[in-house]
Amino acid sequence: MGAHTVAMSPEAPGIFALPDHLAHKADPAHIAADERHLATVSHALDQKVASLSARLDARRRDPAGRGAQTIERDADIRRLVAELATLRRFGLDMCIGHYATAAASRAPQFDSSPTAPATAPVYVGRIGLTDAAGTPLLVDWRTPAAEPFFAATLADPRGVTYRRRYRWSGGRIVDYWDEVFGDDDEVFAHVSPDDLSAFISSLSEARTGRMRDVLTTIQADQDAIIRADSRGALIVDGGPGTGKTVVALHRAAYLLHEQSRTGLRRGNLLLVGPHRPYLDYVADVLPSLGEHSVQTATVADLGVAALGGTIAAPPGGLPDEPDPEVARLKSELRMVETIEAAVRFYEQPPEQSMVMQTEWLDLRLTPADWAEAFASVEDGTPHNEAHPQIRETLAEILVDRALHNSAGGGVPADILRAELAAHPDLHRALYRAWPMINATDLVGDLWTVPAYLRLCAPWLTTEQLQLLQRPAADSWTTADLPLLDAAHHRLGDADRKRRTQRHRAERSAELARRQRVSDDLIAADDDPEGVSPMLRHADLQEALLDSPADEEPAIGPARLAGPFSHIIVDEAQELTDSEWAMILRRCPSGSLTVVGDRAQSRRDFDESWPERLERIGLSPARITSVHLSINYRTPAEIMEAAAPVIRSVRPDANVPESVRRSGAPVRYGQVEDLHGVVDEWLATHSEGMVGIICTTGAAGPDFNGSDRVRSLTPAQAKGLEFDLVVLVDPETFGSGVIGAVDRYVAMTRATQQLVVLRS
């Protein structure tokens, strides 16, 4: 079961390990029913782990098979491994609480006698679980049966009479919170209501280097967003600390479960984050919710991955575009549309006729024939993958001409068609008229050949043309990635044919090698009825290979190429129009969850969220918005200092209202106090994280080795949170909108204390 499993035996301690100051909660009238039910859950978990382990071992022993059989076997193994990982990671901890309705909250389930009736509250878990007879022991938190646990409020109880949430540590319950909906005396007699809810209590807990899931404490308004319809785009707008990110992550797990329940393919959801530290920070959340198949990436990852390693990026990634005006021009949708004109330049039919010499007669190929063949390419076919369609149309035109030619009587059509399909002159002419192009060459030419850029982007002024030119075509920046991605999508893989041919050659060589091994085994085997003679069968030798002859080898970066059934974009206010085009290219359905805060945008964001999404191509009828206005993370003392900072440049900023006060006012000091501030905090706090935010992102070597102290730039801190935040020289963050936004973002990363140090 794993480290968190509680072995339930007559001698073993109970599931509950409540500290002395919570002794009043240890009354058997309050916890006996939970003890019994969770003992049953523990037994069922042991049985399920044993069953899954046996199935996994058996599946691993199954032969790989071919094609779809191999894929199905590997998918089963991955699913079983993931499910076992979840069970072993949590054990009983996967039960997050239970609720009771009016029909189920009577005395029987509180009865401490071992003969109590089976009627019981609904226990909610990270995954569903049944006993051997199929009786539900835990309902998956994503199912409709679990929804009342999260959705019940005093204003709308949803039929719920009480709710209990657990806090686990070391595989045992160390606290629980009861909430009563209504005034039923029978319910009050068997629960232990708290002044503070589980949610409020959790807000003051120390942070670690990774975000935790908040499954136990999800609020009703958050749950409604998590379970919202995935058709179209859902905008989750809210200021810092409002829980946007955690809602988005839980929504990802919910949607994946819905896809599986409705028969859609799993692993087809993408989470796009602002930077790599953010993705590392949230990496544990989805596995803790039982999901291991969500793909994650930054916008830069999408662009680099699409190019399959053809860009040699430095270790820290591509640099940002140094000229703001160049970055602005490259971010426009018009520049993305320029890629189409750039490709069309290479799709012009020849203006001269040519003669094709065949065994039977000579055939003339005219410019009109070329134009017809080029026009026959189906819409959506990548440029580099269109040759077969063009060649087939040209062959049909010439065969038809031969059959209607008086000198062509008796020409065998099939043989002529086959000869034309392999004709070297036709191949050479086609490659000249419709060349194979790499995305890097296409975009690089735009920046180094002014006449080519003017032809493709006639809307640019002379000054803008000159500004976009650069001496080296491959001096790539992050602003180039959306254009390179658009070019790669439009062009397709220029090396696909060569790679497929190499794969087939390697396969043929492997078959020949295995044939030699088989011959040696047969020659050494004296038993005519033995296994070795079976190796003479070609079908068996072919089946021993991993994939069919016509199956291309898998390409790693292709996993981010899409299409995805749903994409979640966090910190979406930072995306440019050209970056949005990258997202929509991977999600043709337009099924998106867009998470962000307009006030935290470092770029101009004068329009509304629906206006922004409509402008980049989404239908307004398929856009819905929800707004989060309560700050759960940042204490009121800090928000009172941060609000004037952002309102100095964005007077209409939606600054959220803090739900709590920490009692610790914002401190101010000198930069030379940095080490003393951090050392003092570490000495007095055995848990928690410190974030030092400064212009360079490097606050000093003394802190670099600590796993509880991180130094970041304001941009790198976006999406993260720390118990203590120390701002070093915030005036150096810049002036205007960018400087104010960076200061606002940095200040609101704190969950407990903010210290501002100036030179």
Rounded CA-CA distance 158/26 in Å is: 28
Q: How many helices (H) and strands (E) does the chain have?
A: 29, 21
- Known binding residue 408? Answer is no
Query: Coil, strand or helix: which one is 728?
Result: strand
User: Whose structure tokens read 């050949």?
Assistant: 449
Tally Cβ neighbours within 10 Å of residue 380: 6
CB 342 within 8 A of CB 487: yes
- Known binding residue 322? Answer is no
Rounded CA-CA distance 162/472 in Å is: 68
- Known binding residue 86? Answer is no
Tokens describing residue 714: 């304001």
- Known binding residue 273? Answer is no
CA distances (Å), origin 358, targets 77, 396, 408, 747: 55, 14, 11, 77
CA distances (Å), origin 603, targets 290, 334, 362, 481, 738: 37, 18, 63, 18, 7
596 contacts: CB under 8 Å, gap ≥ 6: 235, 236, 237, 244, 569, 570, 571, 572, 573, 574, 609
- Known binding residue 497? Answer is no
Rounded CA-CA distance 218/474 in Å is: 48
User: Whose structure tokens read 């009563």?
Assistant: 180
CB 269 within 8 A of CB 567: yes
- Known binding residue 239? Answer is yes
CB 198 within 8 A of CB 218: no
- Known binding residue 263? Answer is no
Rounded CA-CA distance 398/365 in Å is: 7
CB 281 within 8 A of CB 719: yes
* Terminal CA-CA length for the chain: 55
Which residue, 556, 600, 577, 530, is CA-closest to 744?
Answer: 600
Cβ-based burial of 145 (10 A; exposed 0-12, middle 13-18, buried ≥19): middle
Rounded CA-CA distance 496/505 in Å is: 14
- Known binding residue 242? Answer is yes
CB 237 within 8 A of CB 596: yes
Rounded CA-CA distance 480/35 in Å is: 60
Rounded CA-CA distance 580/582 in Å is: 5
Tally Cβ neighbours within 10 Å of residue 293: 17
Distance, C-alpha 370 to centroid of its chain: 44
DSSP 349: P
CB 326 within 8 A of CB 468: yes
| Residue numbering of the annotated binding site for ATP | 238-245
Annotated binding site: 238-245
